[in-house]
Chain A
Amino acid sequence: MYAVFIFLGIVLILIFYIIGVYNSLVKLRNQVKNAWSQIDVQLKRRHDLIPNLIKTVKGYMKHERGTLDSVTNARAQAMGAQTMGEKSAAEGLLSGALGKLQIAVEAYPDLKANQNFLSLQEELSSTENKISFSRQNYNDQVLFFNNKTEMFPSNIIAGMFNFKEEEFFEIEDQTEKKVPKVDFA
């Protein structure tokens, strides 16, 4: 009689444990998804900021047509991108174009004193930061989720319900990742 109760007790505990682990797996996977959409929100915000920026800058930077056009084009391309690969390539291009624009601005002191431009610049550089922080957060969330799916004993339950590892968001632009080499020669 006792043996039956003990057996039932163990089964019950096991069931509760499985439910608990399953729920935390679902929660972690949702956090990964949420982190992913965060990146999209920030990318969209960057696209929205660019027309304003171009409008403000245009009057000052008459001789920088090429730089401005490349930003506009990169933005159009990034907005039209559909697949994952296209997207990250186009966004990388846009980052590069904006970087060039930032450098070009240095030659226009009048522009740099413009209040409107300054606040736009703060918004833009903050959006760049937000993009990289949301990417960082996405990778953190993926790490938590993957740890849970790989580690014993939760990996058994992850296997039972077919939870698959998520992929990290690697930076496409290799120059962004490179650590500067110090040469003492």
Chain B
Amino acid sequence: MWELIQANKRKSFFLFIGMTILLLLLGYFIGSAVNPYSGGITGIVIALIILFILNMISHFSGSKILLAVSNAKEVTKKVHPQLFNVVEEMRIASNLPAMPKIYIINSPAPNAFATGRNPKNSAIAVTAGLLSMLNRDELQGVVAHETSHILNRDIRFMTYASIMLGTIVLISEVFLRGMFYSSLAGGRRSSSSRGGQGQLIIMIIAIALSILAPLFATLLYFAISRKREYLADASAVRLTRYPEGLASALEKIAGSHEELKTATKVTAPLYINNPLKRKGRKASSLQSTHPPIHERIKILRNMAHGANFSDYQEAFSNVKGSVKPIIPASGLTDHEDIQIRKGEAGKGKIKNARQSKRNLEDLMLNVDRYDFINCVCGLKMKVPPGYSGNEILCPRCGRKHKTIK
């Protein structure tokens, strides 16, 4: 486990360096294209300042912004005791230094993500749809996957990577748009002044870079996020000792047709499964943020011998038919056998569709801090959080009830 974290830290570092170099090149050439005398240096300085500011923001409030954008609400144990218990179980198994904060997203689409600065300041967000759909063992699998993202330092890595990507995209866009408008407005000035072949070449390089850099950075970001998903699956199995839990959960998630409306292209790689349902696109392409979910399920179900990293690697090779290492070699050193335990994944939680829909609605109201009062006549009253009176009348039988607050 520890070696894996080290390997991840090293990779984060290299990615950071690579993207920084890309950014500096971009800054230099765009700067030179705008002003051939001192523009290069100015461009680099501006690029660095933008990067610094964005990093500061992401470091101090990145996860808050992310959670707010996703419309996630922090909840207390009272809202969903089982979720809290499962998260704590995984905190214990993974030896995290602190309990992650727990958020629920009020959406029927089943999904989950983890975020945070480091393992001490982390958060796990799950949707109400996920909670209503999965049984305990399956929920444990999903939470284990998210805990692995925290443990493997994926959360910080992904935040940095997305910030770098965002900066590169921003600078390129501004430059390209600027070029476009200035060529519309003052074409004469640019053609008459500061000519020369050298300047033209720099201009061409700058344009090419601002078109290619975002593309390249995006592909890099997606490629890495795909690999991290496999790694988090492998770590999740090692934590729970139960591949079927996660496999069955992924199967239910894949079977859902609900769409998560608050997810965007930038936040998509953070989720356990791609929340953006794109129609008519090939599942496994360079552009996808997640490995195909059915492949992940197949790999998990192929793990017959044990719950170790090497067992996952073996299953991965069996399913994909390639020997591409998905786990860094340093993570495959522990040779002791880890047995798979038995569980109850796949056993239906949904008895009838109407009841499960009602449960989902109740949970979502609960997240929104509604109070529930059961009347003797069998009616369940849902009191909104803004209700100020001390008493409430049952609309069916007229009995008086005290509100809890």
Contact = CB atoms under 8 A, between A and B. Distances in A.
Interface of A: 31, 35, 38, 42, 119, 122-123, 126, 129-130, 133-134, 136-137, 140-141, 143-144, 147, 179
Contacts of B89: 126, 129-130, 133
Contacts, number: 42
B85 A136 contact: no
Nearest to A31: B95
Interface string B61-101: 00000000000000000000110011011101111000000
Contacts of A133: 89-90, 92-93
Contacts of A147: 334
A122 B82 contact: yes
Interface in B153-203: none
B contact patch SS: helix
A35 B81 contact: no
Interface in B217-235: none
Q: Which residue, A31, A119, A130, A140, has most C-beta atoms of chain B within 10 A?
A: A140
Contact of A126 (B86, B95, B336): B86
6 contacts: A42-B92, A133-B90, A133-B92, A137-B94, A137-B95, A140-B1
Given A130-B88, A137-B92, 14 more contacts: A35-B95, A42-B92, A123-B81, A126-B86, A126-B89, A129-B85, A130-B92, A134-B92, A137-B94, A137-B95, A141-B95, A143-B336, A144-B1, A144-B2
A141 B334 CA distance: 13
A63 to B, nearest CB: 28
B2 A123 contact: no
A173 to B, nearest CB: 14
B2 A126 contact: no
B38 interface: no
A88 to B, nearest CB: 18
Interface string B1-14: 11000000000000
A144 B5 CA distance: 13
B67 to A, nearest CB: 25
**Residue of B81, B92, B94, B339 contacting most chain A CB atoms (<10 Å):** B92
Contacts of A140: 1, 95
B81 A122 contact: yes
B92 A38 contact: yes
Interface string B378-393: 0000000000000000
A110 B334 CA distance: 49
A43 B277 CA distance: 45
A25 to B, nearest CB: 13
A147 B90 CA distance: 24
